[in-house]
Amino acid sequence: MIEIREAWPGGPLRQFAKDRPNPGWGIPHASGGYAGSYVCRVCLKTAKGGVYTSSGVCESCHRESRAKSTPAYAITPILVEGENGVCG
């Protein structure tokens, strides 16, 4: 049975198996079982090229999140006139 858990506390998700599902699966792991591919935290797909260790997401999710995030220069500060405002 393949389970998905954190590779290390706070780290990216990774497949682990006590018994090897097939001879070519994963690599022997210090925990006694076998470790498979890293799994993206967002899409939960196994990432062949690995995942970013800082965020635990795959390449495509990483790119998507970067594209969606609001660049700093696009944020316009909203000035609110308080009770002590000079207007009025």
Output the six-digit token pair for 85.
């405002």
Q: 63 φ, ψ to 5°?
A: -65, -40
Q: Which stretch, 9-17, 21-29, 51-59, 64-72, contacts Zn ion (CB under 5 A)?
A: 51-59
Q: How far is the CB of 15 from Zn ion (least distance, A)?
A: 14
44 binds Zn ion (CB under 5 A): no
Q: 17 φ, ψ to 5°?
A: -145, 135
Query: With respect to Zn ion, which residue has the nearer C-beta, 13 or 58?
Result: 58
DSSP state at residue 26? S
Residues 29, 50: Cα–Cα separation, whole Å = 17
Query: With respect to Zn ion, which residue has the nearer C-beta, 4 or 20?
Result: 4
Give the one residue of 16, 40, 46, 56 binding Zn ion; rule: CB under 5 A. 40
